[in-house]
Each structure stands twice: as structure tokens, then as C-alpha cells.
Amino acid sequence: MLDFEMLRVIWWLLLGILFMGFAVTDGFDLGAATLLPLVSRDDTERRIVLNTIGPVWEGNQVWIILGAGAIFAAWPYVYAVAFSGAYLPVLLLLLSMGISRPVSFKYRSKLPNLFWRRTWDWVVFFGGVVPSILFGVLVGNILQGLPYFFDDTLRISYSGSVIDLLNPFALWCGITSLAMLTMHGGLYLAVKTENPVRDRAIFWSRVSAFLLILFFAAGGIWVANALNGYLVVSGANPYGYSNPLHKQVIAETGAWLKNYSLYPLSMIVPALGFAGALGALTTARWGNSRFAFFCSSISMIGIIGTVGVSMFPFILPSSSNMTSSLLVWDASSSQLTLLLMLAAVVIFLPIVLIYTAWVYRVLRGKVRRDTIEKDERHNIAY
């Protein structure tokens, strides 16, 4: 039987995998939506872009639902703190990604009126840009720590405001996230479309990849020299019951880089972020751009993994009361709960992956102009 420490580490890894899966899949349709006004010049080209993501975006969002569910079940303290302390950004994510975007896809082609369609096109655009930035803003605030604390009865209190979430470092992470997802979305469009949309998508994906390399590097310098990270001094028990008040934590500039000196092999993770983006930049025009899309996926996995590796064992630090910070070791559900959930993952996650692979295989191929024009006459597609 797996011990408590191992189960906690496994669920920390699974949470990261779910977020990476969401970024790689739903990330490209957020990026494609962001590029909609930049790669299309007429209504048919806009419909081409929308039809590359229209059949798959709902399935892609399953990953974020799984991630939220995993937090709720495996990390209940994290769920309680994050979803209430960052309530407004989470609400904006729901409105932009979960409500306005599906409505825009469904209603956009209901009428042939140009004003009607252009209005919904801008809703699609904002449904790509706003979540892309907000995800980065949330990560930036998590790296700095949220202003919460637990009292002696483990009730949560907050001492910050919504405006505090829009701090310079968080906004920097927001534009980094936007560049990352735009790169990914542009390469997806390069795979799924023909010229001239393909050429424009490749151009913007390469611009985004170049900016991503710069933003990611600058963010690393910021973290190393100007951002307080957190260190556990004592009291963390990997085998103990979940109670965040039994440890001592200090803040220290550059603390988020300690794991890389303790575990040199972990440097591979940020290296993947840079190498993948560089590969996407240099190979975007190779063949059908599939290799560049693969490189983009590797870059996203590396960048998200960098956040996790840098923070370990922290999941959600507290900036107002460092002792209240949530760790892998003191924020999880019980050992039995984690074990039962792991059994469910072993059974059902392969089914999800197989079904997803089958869907993408069925929907393979490019979206062509003549097909869209034919579908327009028959009033189908997006």
C-alpha cells in the first residue's frame, strides 16, 4: 500500500499533469480566438478560424474541470482558499471562458447580418484574451502568496483586496501567459488552415514565441532578484494529518530557486520552456507545422512545470501569515481518500485519453475555404 507521503506527491504530480493537459489542449483554442482579428480578413476566413476550434473547445475544457475537481477532492484547503480569495478573477474566467465564449460560438452564424457576426467575433476575441491573461495573473499572485490566514479553528480570513491582485509581477505573468497561448494557437491554426490564414498565423506565432522567450527569461530574473519566495524552516511532516499551523515558514528573496540547487536535474524543466519556444520559433514553417506545434506544447509543459518545481512543497503560500501557507504535506485529504481517488484515475484517465485521441483523429485535416463556403450555403458549421 502506498504511504501518505507518496500519495501526496502523486496527487501533486497529477494536479500538474491536469493543468498541463488543459494548457496544451484548451490553450490552442484560446490562442486561436485571440488571433481571430489578426489572421482573418473577411467573413469566410473568420469562419475558417472558428471551425478549427469549434468542434473541440468543449472537450478541451474538460481538463480544467478535472483540475478544479482534483483540487476540491485532493486539496480541500487549497480549494477553499483559492476559489474564495481570488473569487473575482475566477468569476471573470467563468464569464469569459465558460459563458461568453460558448454563446458566441453558438450564436455567431445564426444570422447573416455583418454587424451581428462582427459583434460575436469580438466576443470570441475577448473570450480568448481575457482568460489567457487572467491565468497568468493568478499564477503571479500564487507565486507572491495570497493574503490569507487561518485562525486556531482553521477558519480562513483575508486581508487583501481585488486591486492588490493586479500588481506588476502578476501582470507580467499575465502577458507571459498571453504570449504563450498565442504562440500555441497560431501554430494550431498553421496546422489546420491553408494560405493566406496559415501564413498570418505562422507570423504571429513566431512573434509570440520570441516575446515568450524574453518574458519568461525576464520573469526568472525578477523571481531571482526581486521577488520574495518562501522556505519551510521546521515543522513540516509528510506523514502527518493536514493542519497548516504546525510549521514555521520564512520569506526570502530568490527562495523559489532553491530547489534547482538542491536537485540539479530539475533544471531540465525550465530548459524545456526555453527550448520548446525556440523550437516553435525556428520550425514554424517546417512541413505542416506539426513539429513546431509539438515544440510549443513542450514549452508550455516546461513553463507550467517550472512554477510547480520552483514552489515545491508549497501549493499556495500566504503573504499575510506565512505559517498558514499550504504545503503538499499539510493541505491534502486523508490517505484513504487519496488512495480511492487514485484508483479512479487509474481506471478512467486512460479512457479519457483514448477518447480524446480518437476525436482528434476523426477531426484531423485542414479546414478549407471551399468547404466553409459550401457549409454557408447549407447554413451549417460556425
Cβ atoms of 144 and 170 within 8 Å: the answer is: yes
- pLDDT at site 57: 84
Nearest to 207 by CA among 39, 47, 365: 39
The answer to whether position 268 is within a domain reads: no
Query: Coil, strand or helix: which one is 253?
Result: strand
Q: Distance (Å, rounded) from C-alpha 316 to C-alpha 81? A: 8
Cβ atoms of 71 and 328 within 8 Å: the answer is: no
CA 327 vs CA 117, 240, 316, 358: distances in Å: 48, 12, 7, 37
DSSP structure string for 41-84: -SHHHHHHHHHHHTTTHHHHTHHHHHHHHHHHHH-HHHHHHHHH
- pLDDT at site 375: 66
The answer to whether position 358 is within a domain reads: yes
The answer to whether position 91 is within a domain reads: yes
Per-residue pLDDT of the chain (382 residues; tens, 9 = 90+): 688 999 999 999 999 999 999 999 989 999 999 999 999 999 889 999 999 998 888 888 888 888 888 899 999 999 999 888 788 888 888 888 888 888 888 888 888 888 999 999 999 999 999 999 999 999 999 999 999 999 888 888 888 777 888 899 999 999 999 999 999 999 999 999 999 999 999 999 999 999 999 999 999 999 999 999 999 998 888 998 888 998 999 999 999 999 999 999 999 999 999 999 999 999 999 988 999 999 999 999 999 999 999 999 999 999 989 999 999 999 999 999 999 999 999 998 899 889 888 988 888 888 888 887 776 654 555 6
Cβ atoms of 302 and 278 within 8 Å: the answer is: no
Query: HSE of 101 in the Cβ direction (CA atoms, 13 Å)?
Result: 29
Number of domains into which the chain is organized: 1
The answer to whether position 123 is within a domain reads: yes
The answer to whether position 171 is within a domain reads: yes
Domain span holding position 173: 4-225+335-377
The answer to whether position 316 is within a domain reads: no
Q: DSSP letter for 244, please.
A: T
- pLDDT at site 83: 84
Q: Distance (Å, rounded) from C-alpha 34 to C-alpha 58? A: 17
The answer to whether position 246 is within a domain reads: no
The answer to whether position 238 is within a domain reads: no
